[in-house]
Chain A
Amino acid sequence: MSRIPANVTGDLVRVALMEARPAGLSTRQLVTATEMSAYQVQSGLRFLREVLAAENLTPLTWTRAEGYRLSTDPADWIAYERACVRTELTRLARLLSSTVIPHAQKLPDDEWVQLVLGQLTGVKSALGLLVRSA
């Protein structure tokens, strides 16, 4: 199959998601709806997220239950943003407990690791505050 430019795959994905509103579509459902390959759907999703979201002021959201969505309801965006922040918080907490804290305890005079420990602890607090805020 000939290569389809990203702006075209992006627009086909956008149209399929607009038609599915207010529901979402999984990658597999997007393949069926757009008659493109999974690879082309991925390229379209990337274009939609990185270019069209800013143009249309509509973020692309994803949940396990509903798949990809172009919701017009800011409450859905907030739920997605909160989930993204929670993911980053989990990644960071895991890095701190599994690597940075043991490293800092082993090398108490190492400037780099002490700096990382202090700064990332602050970042963890900032993300935790966001996740907890109503």
Chain B
Amino acid sequence: MTTIDGTDWDTYERGFVRDEMTRIARLLDTVIIPHLQGHPDDEWAQLVMGQLTGVKTVLELLAREQ
């Protein structure tokens, strides 16, 4: 039998979600937003901005779930 119980998995998943939220926020703030501010018509940057903003919101909501 595995020794991993449900709580350990929860803790690991929650830690990952929080960590991932930080990584996505940093990518947006340090790379995507400066890119888009300098080149507002860049379609790729707009697409990444839109998708990653959505991803960040999902991760934020998951991190808040009890």
Contact = CB atoms under 8 A, between A and B. Distances in A.
Decide if A and B are genuine partners.
yes
Contacts, number: 94
A2 interface: no
Contacts of A20: none
B30 A49 contact: yes
B9 A130 contact: no
A61 B27 CA distance: 11
Contacts of A119: 58, 61-62
Contact of B38 (A50, A58, A91, A127): A58
A122 interface: yes
B58 A122 contact: yes
A59 B59 contact: no
A81 B32 contact: yes
Contacts of A74: 35, 39, 42, 45
Q: How large is the interface on B (under 10, 10 to 19, 20 to 34, 35 or more residues)?
A: 35 or more
A128 to B, nearest CB: 10
Contacts of B24: 88
Given A92-B20, A127-B55, A59 B31 contact: yes
A88 B31 CA distance: 15
A126 interface: yes
A126 B51 CA distance: 6
B10 A77 contact: no
Given A49-B30, A116-B13, 6 more contacts: A56-B34, A78-B45, A81-B48, A110-B6, A115-B62, A133-B44
